């Protein structure tokens, strides 16, 4: 190696490696962070920026049109409304990361809601047991989809299209002629979306969440610095911590003005955070991204691609089933059209609006939260303005189109960059 090391490079073997001169290091100063931002905007790597700007814009517009839009009551209702479809979106995101699609999520949610209601009410097992069974049914359904897709090679699009039809059939069959099963409004199922935490609990969660984030960031960056790697400056850590703390404490403050932090929203956010950590910080998550970015390369690296695919479809359907459980909880009943409406469209739209690519391999779990809030805000705002479904569908379509356009554009700009050699 000696003969090729440039003379100017005087670093010893163990010392931190000198940065390449082509690397534009701009992370340390405020001006540098701004410059990085500008470069990213031009390069098409926008991350969550467009959707955050969009969300703020939507909120400002609706608040100007209706003074109760940003009221604690409306915002609190909004967070409960987005939870069910939000869980389904989290599952869809996993499938989109593989570069596949799951069209069955609405029907799986419906089938799970029927399993839940029939077990809890007609069979009469404890409600917690019924919840677990419904989620388990979702998992089994997803594993079935995944196995047919991965092992037999039927396109996921077709497998889940069959699922869309088939599981709705199961739902109708289970619910039978009466069509609707009402659940107890005091049991565990109803509690999922009708429980609010006392203010101190909400504050506690916010403090713990932000505290854990700051602590892990500090420790992580210190380790990076100790290993001689590029680390965030204290200023950048502060900015990032603030960027998390402001929305977290802000939400808790607003929600506490009404009834407190809703359990349903906490469940949703909890799953988003858990899946985000799983995707970014574990080997499993890395493998999901690898399969989505290049299944053959992943296979050659020794990754069990079939297992990853089957497990992702399993998780996605399990989350759909949980979404179905929350739908039952909110309406105190499972009916023939639970999950049969716009849930499928909205879940996929939310994932894409939130910034997860339709082309596979790019995205994150937070898309579910951001995209869900955008769609929820539009729904809620138009409801306040007493505009109905037609307008909402048209506006949602427009937002979706913008999101997909951004996705396609950034994909194209990356492909152009990739034509280097």
Q: Which chain residues interact with other proteins by CB under 8 A? A: 1, 4-5, 13, 17, 20, 22-23, 220, 223-224, 227-229, 277, 280-283, 286, 289-290, 292-294, 296-304, 360-362, 414-415, 417-418, 420-421
- Rounded CA-CA distance 132/4 in Å is 62
Number of other residues whose CB lies within 10 A of the CB of residue 297 = 11
Nearer to other proteins, 390 or 420 (CB): 420
Nearer to other proteins, 71 or 304 (CB): 304
**Residue 16 Cβ vs other proteins, minimum distance, rounded to whole Å:** 8
**Residue 388 Cβ vs other proteins, minimum distance, rounded to whole Å:** 40
Q: Give the angle subtended at the CA of 272 by the CAs of 310 and 413, to the nearest 5°.
A: 80
**Residue 4 Cβ vs other proteins, minimum distance, rounded to whole Å:** 4
Cβ pair 117, 183 in contact under 8 A: yes
The H-assigned helical ranges of 104-155 are 105-117, 127-147
**Residue 135 Cβ vs other proteins, minimum distance, rounded to whole Å:** 23
Nearer to other proteins, 21 or 124 (CB): 21
Nearer to other proteins, 220 or 247 (CB): 220
**Residue 283 Cβ vs other proteins, minimum distance, rounded to whole Å:** 5
What region, left, alpha or beta, does residue 59 occupy, with left being phi > 0 and alpha being psi -120 to 50 degrees?
alpha
**Residue 7 Cβ vs other proteins, minimum distance, rounded to whole Å:** 13
Cβ pair 315, 300 in contact under 8 A: no
**Per-position b or e across 181-208, b if 16+ CB within 10 A of its CB:** bebeeebbbbebbbbbbebeebbebbee
Nearer to other proteins, 339 or 360 (CB): 360
Strands (E), 120-223: 181-182
- Rounded CA-CA distance 245/240 in Å is 9
Nearer to other proteins, 68 or 224 (CB): 224
Token pair of 311 as six digits: 């497990």
Nearer to other proteins, 61 or 229 (CB): 229
**Residue 312 Cβ vs other proteins, minimum distance, rounded to whole Å:** 16
- Rounded CA-CA distance 174/114 in Å is 6
- Rounded CA-CA distance 372/380 in Å is 12
154 strand-pairing partners: none
**Residue 357 Cβ vs other proteins, minimum distance, rounded to whole Å:** 9
Q: Give the angle subtended at the CA of 278 by the CAs of 274 and 284, to the nearest 5°.
A: 155
Q: Phi and psi dihedrals of 185, rounded to 5?
A: -90, 10
Nearer to other proteins, 302 or 390 (CB): 302
């Amino acid at each position: 190696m000696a003969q090729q090391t440039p003379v100017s490079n005087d670093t010893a073997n163990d010392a931190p490696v000198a940065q390449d001169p082509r690397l534009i290091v701009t992370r340390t100063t405020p001006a540098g962070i701004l410059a990085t931002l500008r470069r990213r905007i031009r390069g098409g790597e926008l991350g969550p920026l467009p959707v955050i700007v969009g969300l703020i814009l939507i909120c400002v517009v609706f608040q100007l049109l209706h003074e109760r839009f940003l009221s604690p009551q409306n915002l609190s209702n909004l967070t409960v409304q987005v939870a069910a479809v939000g869980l389904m979106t989290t599952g869809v995101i996993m499938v989109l990361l593989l570069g596949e699609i799951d069209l069955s999520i609405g029907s799986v949610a419906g089938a799970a809601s029927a399993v839940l209601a029939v077990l809890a009410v007609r069979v009469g097992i404890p409600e917690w047991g019924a919840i677990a069974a419904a989620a388990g049914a979702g998992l089994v359904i997803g594993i079935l989809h995944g196995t047919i897709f991965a092992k037999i090679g039927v396109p996921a699009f077709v497998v889940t299209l069959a699922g869309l039809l088939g599981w709705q059939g199961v739902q109708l069959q289970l619910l039978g002629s009466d069509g609707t099963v009402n659940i107890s409004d005091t049991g565990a199922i109803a509690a999922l979306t009708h429980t609010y935490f006392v203010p101190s609990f909400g504050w506690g969660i916010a403090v713990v969440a932000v505290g854990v984030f700051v602590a892990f960031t500090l420790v992580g960056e210190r380790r990076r610095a100790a290993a001689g790697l590029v680390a965030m400056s204290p200023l950048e850590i502060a900015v990032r911590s603030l960027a998390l703390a402001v929305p977290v404490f802000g939400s808790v403050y607003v929600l506490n003005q009404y009834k407190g932090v809703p359990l349903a929203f906490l469940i949703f956010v909890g799953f988003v955070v858990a899946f985000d950590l799983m995707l970014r910080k574990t080997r499993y998550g890395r493998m999901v991204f690898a399969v989505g970015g290049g299944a053959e390369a992943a296979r050659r690296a020794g990754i069990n691609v079939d297992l990853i695919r089957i497990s992702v479809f399993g998780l996605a359907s399990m989350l759909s089933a949980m979404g179905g459980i929350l739908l039952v909880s909110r309406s105190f009943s499972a009916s023939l059209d639970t999950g049969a409406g716009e849930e499928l469209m909205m879940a996929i739209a939310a994932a894409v609006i939130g910034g997860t690519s339709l082309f596979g391999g790019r995205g994150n779990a937070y898309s579910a939260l951001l995209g869900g809030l955008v769609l929820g805000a539009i729904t809620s705002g138009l409801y306040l303005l007493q505009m109905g479904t037609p307008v909402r569908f048209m506006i949602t379509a427009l937002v979706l189109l913008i999101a997909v356009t951004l996705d396609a554009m950034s994909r194209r700009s990356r492909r152009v960059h990739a034509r280097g050699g």
